[in-house]
Amino acid sequence: MTQYTVINKRAPRLDAPDKSTGRAKYVDDMTLPGMLFGALLQSPLAHARILNIDVSKAKRLPGVKAVVTAEDAGLIKYGVSPARYDETLFCHEKVRYVGDEIAAVAAVDLETALEAISLIKVDYEELPAVFTPEEAMAQGAPVIHEEYPGNVCAEVHQEFGDVEAAFQDCDLIRTDRFVNKRQDAAFLEPNGCIADYDRFGNLTLYTSTQVPHYVQRTVAMVLKLPVGRVRVIKPYVGGGFGPKAAANPMELAACLLSKKIGRPVKMNYSREQVFLFSRARHQFVHTLTTGVKKDGTIMALKNECYLEGGAYASFGIATVYYAGSLLAAPYRLANMKYDGYRVYTNKPACGAQRGHGGVAARAAWEQQLDAIAEELGMDPIEFRLKNVMSAGDITCNDLNMSSFGMKDCIEAVKKGSGWSEKKGKMPKGKGIGMACGFFVSGAGYPIYRSDTYHATVTVKLSEDGGTATVYTGAAEIGQGSDTTMALIAAEALGVRYEDVRVASGDTEYGIDLGAYSSRTTLMTGHATKEAAESVKRQVLQVLGDRLKVPVDQMDIKNGYIVFKGETPDFSSIRTAYIKEHRGWTDNPDEEPLTFREAARLAYLEKGTIVGTGKYKPGKLGGKYKGAAVGTSPAYGCSAQVAEVSVDMETGKVSVERVTDAHDCGFAINRTSVEGQMEGSVSMGLGEALLEEVKFDEKGNILNANLAEYKIPTCLDMPNVKSLIVESNEPNGPFGAKEVGEGAIMPTIPAILNAVYDAIGVRINELPLTPERVYMAIRRKKGKQ
C-alpha cells in the first residue's frame, strides 16, 4: 500500500483556532459601509387569496428606504429542480402556508424595518387549507397550485424485476406501515445574508449557504442579471444539513432591495423563520411488503410512500425518487417495486435533510427486516450477512457498488459491540439492535441538466515558493471540507499540511456544486488532487530541466525534493535562493533540496505557477425515468449497533452505547470521519427519540424554537465507538468516498430494533417519545 505522509492521519481542523476563539466571521458578524437592514412580511394564514396589499404607510415611515412586493420582483418562477419551478419571490394572488413571503422592507435599522413591516396592510380572503396528504388528495380538496389539480407535486412508479412473481416463490411475506415526522435541521446558525449591488451593476451576496453556485444561478435568473454579474461568497457557516442547499426568498429579497436602493442590505432569519422556511426532512408514510425464502434470502420488496411536502416543491422531486431508489442496496434484491407520491399541503415546504429521502425508508425497512429475521428464527446479523452485497455488485436499479465494505462494517460492529455476548441475554428493559445503510457519494448529475463540471479547482503557488493556496468554490459549512482539501492538496503536491492555505466558498474561485449529497470529498477532492498534481509536475519540470534529471526520477515529499537515483548537485539553486534571502534566518542549510527552493526556481523561470483541476462523473446509472436520482460514482455504507435502556414504567428511552462502522473508502482525515459519524448518530438519535415539528389546526407551528423542538443535548448522547472501514474506492481521490450522510442511515432503525429487544413490542411511528413507548408497552400488557 502507498505510504502517505499527510492524509489518513489525524489533522487538526483549519478552522478550529478561529472557531474556538470566536474570531471566525459568520455573515451576521459582517458590516458593510452604508448597510441597511431588511425584514420580511410573511403570511399569517395557511391558505388565502390576496385581495390587496397596501404599502403606503410603510413607505412613509421615516428611515424606510424601500418596500418591495411581487409588483417589483416580477413573477419569474424558481425553485430547486427546473422541472418544478413553482415559487415566485413574493406571493401574488395567494399565499400557501403560514410564513409565505409577501413583501420585504429595507430601512436604516432593524427596528424601523420591522415597524414598517407591521404597517403593511394586506387584505386576505381565507381559503380552506389542507395539512395532510389524505386531506390534500381527497376528492374536491382545495387546490394549492393550479398546475397540480390533485395536489400531487410528483409521483414515481418504478418496477425492477417482477415483484408479484417473486412473491409467489416466497415462504414469508410481511407488510408494515411506518411513519416518521417532519423535521427541522436545527443548525446552529440561522440563515442570514448581505446583498451588495454596486454602481457597476455587480451584485455580491454574502450568505449562509451550502451551495454558492446554485444560489448564484437562482439570483441571476430571478433578478434577470447575467450570471457573471453575480458573485456569491459564503463566510463561515454554522451548519446546513440540507435546508441551506438552495436559494431562499430572503437572499433574493435582499438582492432585490440592494439592487433597487444601491446600498448593502443585511437580512437574517429569526429561529422561528428558520422553522417557517423549513426545507428540512419530509414526513414519509411508507408501506413496505417484503418477501423472503425460508433460508433468509430476500426476494422482493414493494414500497409505497406518501410524502407530506408542504406548499412548494423545493427538493421534493429528488426526495420522492430517493425514498424508493435508496432501498436497492445494501442487500441483493432482484425485484423491487416503488410507488411514491409527493403531495402539496398548506405547510412550510419540506426539502432535503441529511440522508436525503432515504432515512425514513431505511428505518422502516431495517425494522421490518429485523422482524422477518425473528420470524425466521435467524440472528439479525446472520440474516443481513446472508443477503449483503459486495464490491462489484450492481443493484436492480443500476447503482454500481464499485467498492462496498458492507460485510466488513457488519463484522466490525458485531465484534466491537460484543453482540454475541449480549443479544438475547439482556434483562427486560435493556435491548440491543443493529441496522445497516448506504448512501450516495455525490449526486451523479447536477440539479439542472448540464454537462458542467461538478468542481473546478485552482492551486496557486505563492511566488516565494513557500505556500500553496487552493482556490475552490466548495462550501465549508462546518463539515471540514477546507481541511480535507488542504490535506489532499498537501499530499498530492508533496508539501506539509501547514504550508497549504484554502480559499473557498466563493463563486469567483471556480465551479463547485456545493455541500450536498455527500459530494465534496470525492468530487472537489478529485479536482483538488488534479490541480495539485499539475503544480507538482510544473515545478518538477523546471527543476528537471535545470538539474538534467528526468521528471519521473524525482518526487516531492513532506516539503523536500526526493531524487530516486543519485542526488544531483543542486548547489547553484541553493546559492541563488540564499542570495535572494540575505538576512533571513531560516534559509535551507544542510538539508536536502526543499520544495520552496524548487518552487521559487519554477516561478523565476515561468512566472506564477498555477495548476487547475476539474471533475465530473462519467456516464452513470440506468436509462429508466428517474435513473439520475440515486446514481453516484461511489457509495458509502455503514452498520451500527445501538444499546438502549427503557424505563418500563415511564417509557423513557436512553441510548447507552452505539457502535458504528462506516466504509468511507479511505479516510483523508480520520478525526473528521469520526466527527461525521458521531454527528450522524446525534442527528439520528434526535430523529428517533425526540424531534417533530408540530402544528395547530390552522397551520401554525407550535414549537418553532429550540426549547420545544427538542434536539439531543450532550447528556442524551451515548458514547459512540466509531470504527472506520476502508475499501479503497476506485472512483475516489486516494480511494475516498462519503461519510457525511450515509452514517445517519442505520441510527434510527438500530435504536428501533434495540427498543423492540428491550420492550418486546414494535413501534412503527417516530419519534419514540416516552409517551409513545409507554403506550406501546401498555397496549402489549393489555393484550396479554
Distance separating alpha carbons of residues 664 and 669, to the nearest angstrom = 11
Paired strand residues for 6: none
Beta-bridge partner residues of 236: 26
Torsion, CA 402, CA 403, CA 406, CA 408, rounded to 10: 150
- Please report where in the chains the cell 408497552 appears, as a residue: 777
Nearer to other proteins (CB atom), residue 266 or residue 342: 266
Which residue, chain included where needed, has cell 385581495?
51
Nearer to other proteins, 363 or 704 (CB): 704
CB of 269 to other proteins, least distance (A): 11
**What does the alpha-carbon distance between residue 243 and residue 240 come to, in Å, rounded to a whole number?**
6
For other proteins, which is the closer residue by CB, 168 or 650?
Answer: 650
Torsion, CA 138, CA 140, CA 144, CA 146, rounded to 10: 130
- For the bound state, the minimum distance from the C-beta of residue 719 to other proteins, rounded and expressed in Å, comes to 14
470 and 506 Cβ atoms separated by less than 8 Å:
no
Residue 604: all three cell numbers together: 523565476
| Residue tagged 512566472 (cell numbers) | 607
Query: Pick from 487, 611, 469, 614: which is nearest to 539 by CA?
Result: 611
> What is the C-alpha to C-alpha distance for residues 15 and 164, in angstroms, rounded to an integer?
54
Cα angle 339, 343, 344 (rounded to 5 degrees) comes to 165
Question: C-beta of 68: minimal distance to other proteins in Å?
Answer: 22
Closest approach of Cβ 738 to other proteins, in Å?
29
Of 592 and 770, nearer to other proteins (C-beta) is 770
Query: In this complex, which beta carbon is closest to other proteins, that of residue 605 or of residue 716?
Result: 716
In whole angstroms, the minimum distance from the beta carbon of 320 to other proteins comes to 28
Full DSSP string of 26-39:
BGGG---TT-EEEE
Query: What minimum distance in Å lies between the beta carbon of 647 and other proteins?
Result: 9
Q: How far is the CB of 767 from other proteins (least distance, A)?
A: 8
User: What's the min distance (Å) between Cβ of 271 and other proteins?
Assistant: 9
Q: How far is the CB of 392 from other proteins (least distance, A)?
A: 44
Distance CA 451, CA 448 (A): 10
Q: Least distance from C-beta 710 to other proteins, angstroms? A: 5
| Distance, CA of 574 to CA of 581 (rounded, Å) | 11
Nearer to other proteins, 323 or 688 (CB): 688
Please identify, using beta-carbon distances, which residue of 452 and 654 lies nearer to other proteins.
654
DSSP per position, 605-668: HHSS-EEEEEE---S-S-SSTTTTTT--S-EEEEEEEEEEEE-TTT--EEEEEEEEEEE-SS-S
Q: Which residues contact 675 (CB under 8 A, 6 or more apart)?
A: 480
CA dist., res. 331 & res. 393, Å (int): 10
C-alpha cell recorded at residue 129: 387549507
What whole-number distance in Å separates Cα of residue 558 and Cα of residue 593? Answer: 12
Which among 267, 196, 210, 226 is positioned nearest to 33, based on CA atoms? 196
Residues that bind other proteins (CB under 8 A): 110-111, 114, 270, 272, 649-650, 652, 654, 689-690, 694, 702-703, 707-708, 710, 712-713, 715-716, 769-771, 774-775
Q: Say if CB 33 and CB 95 are below 8 A apart.
A: no
Contacts (Cβ under 8 Å, ≥6 apart) of 112: 37, 61, 62, 63, 64
Taking the complex as a whole, the smallest distance from the CB of residue 652 to other proteins amounts, in Å, to 7
Q: Alpha-carbon distance 273 to 275, whole Å?
A: 5
Closest distance of CB 54 from other proteins, Å: 23
Look at residue 406 and give its three-state secondary structure.
helix
- Among the listed residues 94, 90, 99, the one whose alpha carbon sits nearest the alpha carbon of residue 127: 94
Residue 238 · residue 208 · CB < 8 Å: yes
Give the burial class of 179: count Cβ atoms within 10 A of its Cβ; 0-12 exposed, 13-18 middle, 19 or more buried. middle
Q: How far is the CB of 117 from other proteins (least distance, A)?
A: 12
CA separation for the pair 115, 67 (Å, rounded)? 12
Instruction: Name the 3-class secondary structure at 67.
Output: strand
Tell me the closest approach of the beta carbon of residue 114 to other proteins, in angstroms.
7
**Cβ distance to other proteins smaller for residue 227 or 702:** 702
Closest separation in Å from C-beta 685 to other proteins: 10
Give the nearer residue to other proteins in terms of CB position, either 576 or 775. Answer: 775
- For other proteins, give the closer residue by CB, 292 or 701: 701
Query: Can you tell me which residue has the cell 439520528?
Result: 684
* Nearer residue to other proteins within complex by CB, 1 or 715: 715
R_g of the chain, CA atoms, integer Å: 28
Provide CB contacts within 8 A for 137, sequence distance 6+: 150, 151, 152, 341, 343
Helices within 662-746 (DSSP H only):
670-689
**Smallest gap from residue 611 Cβ to other proteins (A):** 48
Closest distance of CB 648 from other proteins, Å: 10
Of 273 and 534, nearer to other proteins (C-beta) is: 273
